[in-house]
Structures are given as C-alpha cells and as structure tokens.
C-alpha cells in the first residue's frame, strides 16, 4: 500500500474508496481518499476492497469536471431553437425573448435545475457568464444584484461551486447604445458596472466573483481597460466572448482597423487570468497574441456546431501556449465528455489526422485547466490539498463496458456520456449518489416546471 498525505490538522470527515481512479497519468485500481475540511487529506493506493466506514465509488473516478462557460437561462431554449433554419443572429432573437421573461425568482428556479443537471453530469464547478442584471426595461432591482445573487443561491442549492463572471454589456454594437434587448444587460458605463459588481461577495471556496467583457462589440474600446483593471486589482478571472462570428470581426475591423484580439491586447485585456470564449475565427497574429500572453481558450463545441459558428483552431492555440478549457455554453446538451471528444473529433475532420489530444489531455481540459480558468488553480486533481471534488463514471454501461481497466480514461472520454455519471462529490459531500441528486429529488421535473413558467 502506498500512502500520500497532507497534514491539514483537521480530522478526516469522509473516506471514499474508488474501484478505479484517474491519477493524472494512469488508471489506478483500489484507491482510498481521505477528506478533511472539504479537501483531499490523503490518497492511498493498493486498497483492494473498501474498508469499514468508507463510501464505495464503483467505476472510474476522475477529478470533478469544470464547466467553464455557461448561460444558465439558455437551458430554456433547448429543442425550441431546433425548429426551422437560420443563423447565429436569428437564433439570438429567440434568446432575447426568453431573457426578457426572467425575474429573480424564475431565474433562480431555472438555474437551480440547470446546475443540478450539471451535477448529474459530473460537473462540480460552473463559470456563469452573467449579464441579465436589471429589469427588462433597464430599471435596477431594489437589490441591484438580485439576478446574480439568485444564481449564487441556485448553485448552492444544487451543490456545485460557481464562478459568477459578472459581465459588462453596455452597447448593441460598435458606436451604438443599448437597444431594447440590451436594456436589462446594460449598466450604461463600465464605471457603473464596476460599482455594482463590487457589491457582490464570494467566499473563495464555493463562490468566486469574477468579471467578463461580453464582447468587443458590447463594450466600447475606451472602457475595456476599466473592466480589465477591476479584475486585475482583485486577481480574479476575466472572460470575454471572442471572434465567435466573422461578422463581429468585420465590424471590428471597420470600426477600429484591427481584429478583436488585437483590440483587446491594445487595451490590456489579455493575460493569464483571461479566457477567450470560442476564439473561432482568428488570424495567425491573433493566435500568437493569445498564446504568448497565456490567455486561455474555452471551446464550446456542442454550441459552436449547434449555432453553425465554425470550428476554432484549438490545436494551433494549444501549440501557441493558450490553455484549453471546455464549456457547455447554450446547453444544447450538458455533457463535458461530449465537449472533450468533440474538440478532438472536430480537429480530425479539419485535418484528416487522428489523435491531436490524448484522453489524459482532454480530461485535463475538462477538469484542471477549466478550474484554473475559473479562479481555482488548486482544483482538478486527486492529490492531497486539492478540493475534494470527484466524479465517477460507470464502466459497466452499454457505452463503457468491454475495455480493459487501464483504458478506462479512453472509454470515458471517447464513449461515455453524462448519463454514465454515477457519483458526484463536491467539497467531500456526496451530491449525486448512484445517479440521483441527493438534494433535488426530481431534476427533470424541476427543469420542466422552470421552463414551462417562462413559456406559459
């Protein structure tokens, strides 16, 4: 038996026995994990059977998954937006109509159910790109952060961590004020956004308060540095939608004579705490700027293909030095295994070559690198001192049965789905047990009820 411990000084509060665990480089059978104060206190290998008092997790246990990019209210669009045809821009009109119906109470109900769906999928932390700040006519609520607080409360009830990326969204486009759709998103200026966002509180463990620039078209160039400076002063994550559509690139070139990436670089937005979302339509110079600045890239393949955005240059970004993470974005599906393999399979379609990322690299994008992008660089590993966040994937489902145990990571990444997640543990607490949420009895019912309230 091998023993690795972390002297926390706190008593062990939970013990989990894992029939197989992914330890970053390989699958290890018979692993015992001690938890104290919500963190991994010890890892023991070579434990053939669960000892008395240990909770058994049968399957492949991996670090809890990180959903780096979410718009919780988009969950209400699933299937509705699959009727007919169109583009990203026509899809956006349906999204606006749904956004206009939300209140703090209905948003809490929808987000609670959506985050519970994430927990069922093995997701232990979410990055919520939040811009529904005010009432539909732009009037602030009595509590100016009522919508953001509803999201924080929803994540707590669903049992997952949240990085609330409070988003500056000030304009409808280059040289334009907010249109009627953007009134509830806009604080009018970056300074007013910063004043409101500063009222939000996080605990650094379950709740991190970060920042976001919706896009270069939604925040005037002269105000980009205000948002970046707010995030830098607090050493918190800063995210931005970047070059998702060629029309955005064309408009930016027309307005500023440079690409969105160059514009962000010129105003001090890029850097190792910054993550570009999508990064789909980039020039060679854009890729170099992102890589040399260590700006991250969050790929959202299921949304990017659903919206016909295109396939981003993920492999070129990786080689340039941009850390890759994954998000479910519009929640066409909530399945980080699907996002991980889609990034690889998209690159195969583009290049006609297989094997750009190993299963290990894709698991890291779905866990450790995602957590780092959300302001938790110590998360995403099964090592002493890390948060005790775990997800266990069944190895005996019709999708995963058959491969030898040493190939369990490949089976999880390239064959499993969210439906194969059997257990989810957050801060040492069992949130999903045997495929059922321990706090919310009927997650499908909660989703159906919350969505019906918006479409009624």
Q: Is 318 helix (H, G, I), strand (E, B) or coil?
A: helix
Q: Are the C-beta atoms of residues 278 and 243 closer than 8 Å to each other?
A: yes
The values of phi and psi at residue 81, to 5°, are -85, 5
Residue 90 reports pLDDT greater than 90: no
The residue-averaged pLDDT of 246-260 equals 97
Residue 7 reports pLDDT greater than 70: no
Percent of the chain whose pLDDT exceeds 70:
97
- pLDDT at residue 82, rounded to an integer: 77
pTM, two decimals, is 0.96
The residue-averaged pLDDT of 432-446 equals 98
**Helical (H) or strand (E) element with 433:** strand 429-433
Residue 2 reports pLDDT greater than 70: no
- Write out the catalytic residue numbers: 278, 329
Q: Is 248 helix (H, G, I), strand (E, B) or coil?
A: helix
Report d(CA 119, CA 126) in Å as an integer. 10
**pLDDT per position as a tens digit, 419-431:** 999 999 999 999 9
Report d(CA 389, CA 56) in Å as an integer. 15
Q: Are the C-beta atoms of residues 161 and 155 closer than 8 Å to each other?
A: yes
- Per-residue pLDDT band for 264 (boundaries 50, 70, 90) equals very high
Percent of the chain whose pLDDT exceeds 90:
90
Report d(CA 169, CA 138) in Å as an integer. 12
Enter the DSSP assignment of 146.
H
């Amino acid at each position: 038996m091998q023993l690795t411990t972390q002297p926390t000084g706190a008593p062990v509060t939970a013990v989990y026995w894992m029939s197989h665990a992914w330890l970053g480089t390989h699958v290890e059978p018979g692993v015992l994990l001690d938890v104290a104060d919500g963190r991994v206190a010890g890892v023991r290998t070579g434990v053939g059977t669960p000892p008395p008092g240990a909770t058994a997790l049968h399957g492949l246990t991996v670090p809890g998954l990180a959903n780096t990019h979410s718009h919780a209210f988009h969950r209400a669009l699933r299937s509705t937006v699959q009727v007919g045809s169109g583009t990203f821009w026509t899809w956006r009109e349906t999204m606006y109509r749904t956004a206009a119906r939300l209140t703090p109470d209905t948003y809490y109900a929808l987000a609670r159910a959506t985050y519970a769906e994430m927990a069922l999928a093995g997701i232990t932390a979410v990055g919520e790109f939040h811009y529904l700040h005010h009432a539909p006519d732009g009037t602030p609520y009595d509590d100016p952060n009522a919508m953001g607080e509803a999201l924080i409360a929803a994540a707590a009830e669903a049992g997952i961590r949240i990085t609330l990326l409070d988003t500056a969204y000030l304009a409808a486009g280059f040289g334009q004020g907010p249109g009627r759709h953007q009134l509830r998103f806009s604080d009018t200026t970056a300074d007013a956004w910063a004043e409101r966002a500063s009222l939000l509180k996080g605990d650094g463990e379950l709740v991190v308060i970060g920042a976001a620039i919706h896009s270069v078209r939604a925040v005037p160039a002269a105000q980009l540095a205000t948002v970046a400076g707010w995030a830098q002063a607090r050493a918190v994550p800063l995210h931005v939608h970047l070059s998702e559509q060629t029309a955005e690139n064309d408009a930016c070139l027309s307005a500023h004579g440079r690409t969105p990436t160059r514009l962000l670089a010129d105003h001090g937005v890029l850097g190792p705490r910054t993550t570009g979302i999508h990064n789909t339509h980039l020039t060679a110079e854009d890729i170099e700027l992102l890589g040399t600045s260590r700006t991250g890239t969050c790929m959202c393949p299921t949304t990017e293909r659903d919206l016909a955005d295109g396939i981003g240059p993920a492999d070129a970004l990786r080689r340039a030095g941009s850390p890759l993470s994954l998000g479910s974005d519009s929640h066409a599906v909530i399945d980080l295994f699907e996002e991980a393999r889609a990034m690889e399979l998209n690159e195969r379609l583009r290049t006609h070559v297989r094997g750009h990322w190993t299963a290990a690299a894709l698991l890291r994008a779905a866990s450790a690198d995602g957590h780092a992008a959300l302001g938790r660089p110590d998360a995403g590993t099964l090592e002493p001192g890390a948060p005790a966040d775990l997800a266990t994937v069944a190895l005996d489902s019709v999708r995963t049965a058959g491969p030898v145990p040493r190939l369990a990571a490949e089976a999880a990444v390239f064959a499993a789905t969210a439906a194969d997640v059997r257990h989810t543990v957050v801060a040492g607490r069992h949130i999903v047990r045997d495929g059922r949420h321990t706090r919310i009895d009927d997650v499908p019912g909660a989703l159906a009820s919350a969505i019906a309230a918006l479409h009624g």
